Amino acid sequence: MSGKRRIGVGLIGTGFMGKAHALGFTIAARVFDQPFDLDLVSVADVSLDGAEKARRNLGFRKATDDWRTLLTDPDIDIIDITTPNLLHKEMALAAIAHGKHVYCEKPLAPTVAECAEMVAAAEKAGVVTQVGFNYLKNPMIFLAKDLIESGEIGEIRSVRGIHAEDFMMDASAPWGWRLDPKSGGGALADIGSHIIASLRHLVGPITSVLAETIIQVPERPVARGSSEMRAVEVDDITRAFVRFESGATGSFEANWSATGRKMQHDFEIYGSKGSIVFTQERMNELKLWLAGDDIRSRGYRTIWAGPEHPPYGAFCVAPGHQIGFNDLKAIEANEFLAAIAAGTRPGTDFREGFEVQKVVSATYQSAKTNEWVRIGND
């Protein structure tokens, strides 16, 4: 035994993100000097078979098909929620009521009002919260933020951001929970929340938006291969012009039918002295241009991730060998555990999820009115 305090995790949901969260905790326990001994206590899924499979594969001690049993388990300190968006509020509020810390996938909840309720409950209870904006945990994003905050690229003037994938490009893909308007929206809410979080993190608060939404596939089969169709009411693409509190302006796009794109989470940030370009599909690189660079070598220099860009060195001592998606989840999990130990707020807590959702909501409102909409302050 290490002598460290034990901390127990209960995971709800065993899909793609459930596995990513479990791996994130496991990797974090191996590569970081954590303040706790990690205990993967129990995993919950809609079926007991699914929960048992996840228990065996991911290293949990127990499995259940009733997530509520995790709330009263004295061995569990953290409830980790990776379910469809519509379920986040109920699960998070129940966990908070039982004094559990909560780690929840994005988006925090389908509506601004629900997010506000979750923030108020968490802050009143004094529990630590985290929202899964894992793309912010990349050492190259930390470097980008340092370059901006140091003034090295000058005053930020304009910004472009996009999050695009193609998992909904196939018109025969069946209607599912992501297409349910009650879940809070389509591409913007589901993946666009990531690029909004990144732009807020790097450039600062967004104050107003002017947007359009597009439904490319107006109906989908109710099940794969079915001839019965169901109308699609949420966006496949959303584009928005944005204004920042700093005075910078720019745009962002969310697109889940971008043919050929598997994971485009990209931004370009232009300052008065230089600029930064990043693409998630080459997530171990950052491109930098600075005014005064030798005219004989016009264009961007490429910075490769290495041990000099923390916390890359926790994973690999050699530059250029690269870290991956699950490593970002490990960095996120480590920050969450450090905040619990210190009694502080992580940078991507429920309040940040609330702020992102306010931008999402204003963007949808703008698309309906075809007018600039200011981001609310409540």
Task: Summarize pLDDT for 266-282 with one digit per residue, the tens.
Answer: 999 999 999 999 999 99
pLDDT tens digits, residue range 66-107?
Answer: 999 999 999 999 999 999 999 999 999 999 999 999 999 999
Question: Has residue 328 been placed in a domain?
Answer: no
310 and 243 within one domain? yes
248 and 181 within one domain? yes
Question: Has residue 329 been placed in a domain?
Answer: no
| pLDDT band, very low/low/confident/very high, at 183 (cuts 50, 70, 90) | confident
Which contiguous run of DSSP H or E holds residue 279? strand 274-279
Select from 107, 134, 161 the last residue of a domain: 134
Which contiguous run of DSSP H or E holds residue 193? helix 193-203
pLDDT tens digits, residue range 184-230?
Answer: 889 999 999 999 999 999 999 999 999 999 999 999 999 999 999 99
259 and 127 within one domain? no
- In one-letter notation, the amino acid at residue 336 is F
Average pLDDT value for residue range 227-240 = 97
181 and 247 within one domain? yes
Q: Which residues fall within 8 angstroms of residue 364, CB to CB, at 6 or more apart?
A: 185, 188, 211, 213, 238
Number of structural domains (the chain) is 2
277 and 292 within one domain? yes
| pTM as predicted | 0.96
Select from 115, 134, 153 the last residue of a domain: 134
**Domain membership of residue 142 as a residue range:** 137-323+339-373
Q: Which residues pair with 156 in a beta bridge?
A: 271
| pLDDT at residue 302 is higher than 80 | yes
Question: Has residue 101 been placed in a domain?
Answer: yes
Instruction: Tell me the CATH number at 44.
Output: 3.40.50.720
pLDDT tens digits, residue range 351-364?
Answer: 999 999 999 999 99
Select from 93, 114, 134 the last residue of a domain: 134
